[in-house]
Amino acid sequence: MTSLGLAVALFFHVLILSVTGAYSATFTIVNKCSFKVWPGILSSAGTAPLPTTGFALDPGASSSVAIPASWSGRLWGRTLCSEDPATGKFACLTGDCGSSGLECSGSGAAPPATLAEFTLDGAGGLDFYDVSLVDGYNLPMLVVPQGGASSGAGNCTATGCAADLNAACPQELKVTSAGSEGGVACKSACDAFGDPQYCCSGAYGSPNTCRPSQYSEFFKSACPKAYSYAYDDGTSTFTCASADYEITFCPRPSTSVKAAGEQYGVAAVASGGIASSSWTPPPSAVAVVVSATVWQLRQLF
């Protein structure tokens, strides 16, 4: 073959690969919270970078991100972010990635943070995805596959943690901040106590020796489909083929991470998993929205 022929053959080979090759997904990220959320995205080592690694999402807004074929990584929400007027540095009270900016640029979330984890086009050509509370919890989050095919096992379904666990969080795990005593996040027991038994490390570093704890059970009972500790795989990993994914913060009519009243948070937990669709806001929701707005105004000044 002439070198021109070779170049032409190569060109068509690449063209055909790009047309028939692995599926590139779209993530649609939706903020149904009554407050602003700053999504952060971290690509795993060795996978293609994304067009964005962090941005702001107003209440009610959504944003689509083109995901390269075979991407793997994690996505989470940062809350209560602001820019220091003196230094210009951007920081968030929860889920901060330490980049001092909107983009996380290769840095992950500081725990506690609810994580959506993906391995697209992995073993058997399947997408593997889950929502994890192993590093704690900061926001309700739901992952809904769209247009994907179920594998033989057939669990190409929604997963996540729709409950608001901040107010309900056990006192010893709760993260509060000035003016938000209801809680802004909920630590994992590993993060709070550093005990190998909770961290599934050392002698507890296997599925046989690391068992659920009273703390992981708290997360699991509120959010049965989410990872509650490191070896929670069987009930927490989902698979699809060639799907797009909608990732929603506060999938239910939401409380404020800041202003949620205790009874509001507990009510959300009591109503359980992610399937409930009959939820209606209690009268206190109005007060929550008002106080969240007041809080946002305070952030501005």
Ligand X SMILES: *[C@@H]1O[C@H](CO)[C@@H](O)[C@H](O)[C@H]1NC(C)=O
Binding site for ligand X (CB under 6 A): 153, 155, 234-235, 237-239
Q: Which residue is nearest to ligand X (CB)?
A: 153
Please say which residue, 175 or 223, places its beta carbon nearer to ligand X. 223
Please say which residue, 85 or 234, places its beta carbon nearer to ligand X. 234
Q: How far is the CB of 48 from ligand X (least distance, A)?
A: 25
Q: How far is the CB of 227 from ligand X (least distance, A)?
A: 11
Please say which residue, 41 or 222, places its beta carbon nearer to ligand X. 222
Please say which residue, 59 or 122, places its beta carbon nearer to ligand X. 122
Please say which residue, 218 or 238, places its beta carbon nearer to ligand X. 238
Task: Report how far residue 72's alpha carbon sits from residue 289's, in angstroms, rounded to the nearest whole number.
Answer: 36
Task: Report how far residue 83's alpha carbon sits from residue 299's, in angstroms, rounded to the nearest whole number.
Answer: 10
Q: How far is the CB of 238 from ligand X (least distance, A)?
A: 6
Please say which residue, 32 or 225, places its beta carbon nearer to ligand X. 225
Q: How far is the CB of 237 from ligand X (least distance, A)?
A: 5
Q: How far is the CB of 244 from ligand X (least distance, A)?
A: 19
Q: How far is the CB of 133 from ligand X (least distance, A)?
A: 15
Q: How many CB atoms lie within 10 A of CB 295?
A: 17
Please say which residue, 235 or 284, places its beta carbon nearer to ligand X. 235
Write the single-letter amino acid at 185: A
249 — alpha (psi -120 to 50), left (phi > 0) or beta?
beta
Q: How far is the CB of 116 from ligand X (least distance, A)?
A: 15
